[in-house]
């Protein structure tokens, strides 16, 4: 019985130390700022892209992942934020899932105010099926984009 427990413990440590998808600690890494790519050509969404994507975090959950993104518009009052998938949530040729951070502009002119008061947080669930062929997730803003890779 002791040898079985010891073998299981060793196998767990070996898997945790390797760089495979089985290791939950390196499932998606830290985000990095990338050059803003062009938004989708055939986007029917009337909302604007957020001015800047300031943070991206991928949280592993049962059956998939939740993409958490933080955006920073130029002034207060932007509303109805959403991550809109390009290519119907299919990875592109390089294995990237690409989302546009879309928001409606304010109806009335608003002051710029502090950075914290203008931040917009948005989240989007992605299933394991969608993530199976994915090597990275990119969220596009108007001035930049952020990417998290495996």
**Biggest CA pair distance of the chain:** 71
pLDDT score, position 119: 95
Structural domain boundaries in the chain: 27-149
User: pTM of this prediction?
Assistant: 0.75
Could you give the 3-state DSSP secondary structure of residue 113? coil
Q: Per DSSP, what are the bridge partners of residue 33?
A: 146
Angle among Cα 109, 115, 119 to the nearest 5 degrees reads 80
At 120, list the tokens: 């917009």
Q: Per DSSP, what are the bridge partners of residue 67?
A: 58, 124
Over the stretch 85-96, which tens digit does the pLDDT of each residue have? Answer: 998 888 888 889
Please state, rounded to an integer, the average pLDDT across all residues of the chain.
83
DSSP letters, 13-33, are HHHHHS-STT-GGGSS--EEE
Predicted confidence (pLDDT) at residue 81 exceeds the cutoff of 50: yes
Q: Strands of the chain (E only): list them.
A: 31-34, 48-49, 52-61, 64-72, 79-85, 96-104, 120-127, 136-140, 145-149
88 vs 35, 66, 133, 142, CA distance in Å? 22, 17, 14, 20
Over the stretch 49-73, which tens digit does the pLDDT of each residue have? Answer: 999 999 999 999 999 999 999 999 9
Residue 39 contacts residue 140 (beta carbons within 8 Å): yes
Residue 106 contacts residue 86 (beta carbons within 8 Å): no
Could you give the 3-state DSSP secondary structure of residue 94? coil
């Amino acid at each position: 019985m002791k040898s079985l427990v010891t073998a299981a413990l060793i196998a767990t440590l070996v898997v945790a130390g390797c760089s495979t998808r089985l290791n939950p600690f390196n499932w998606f890494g830290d985000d990095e700022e990338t050059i803003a790519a062009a938004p989708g050509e055939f986007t029917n969404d009337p909302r604007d892209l957020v001015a800047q994507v300031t943070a991206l975090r991928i949280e592993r959950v049962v059956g998939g992942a939740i993409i958490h993104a933080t955006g920073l518009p130029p002034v207060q009052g932007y509303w109805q934020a959403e991550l809109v998938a390009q290519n119907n949530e299919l990875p592109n040729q390089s294995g990237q899932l690409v989302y546009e951070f879309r928001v409606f502009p304010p109806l009335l002119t608003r002051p710029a105010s502090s950075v914290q008061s203008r931040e917009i947080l948005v989240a989007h669930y992605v299933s394991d099926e969608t993530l199976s062929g994915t090597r990275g997730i990119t969220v596009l803003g108007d001035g930049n984009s952020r990417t998290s890779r495996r």
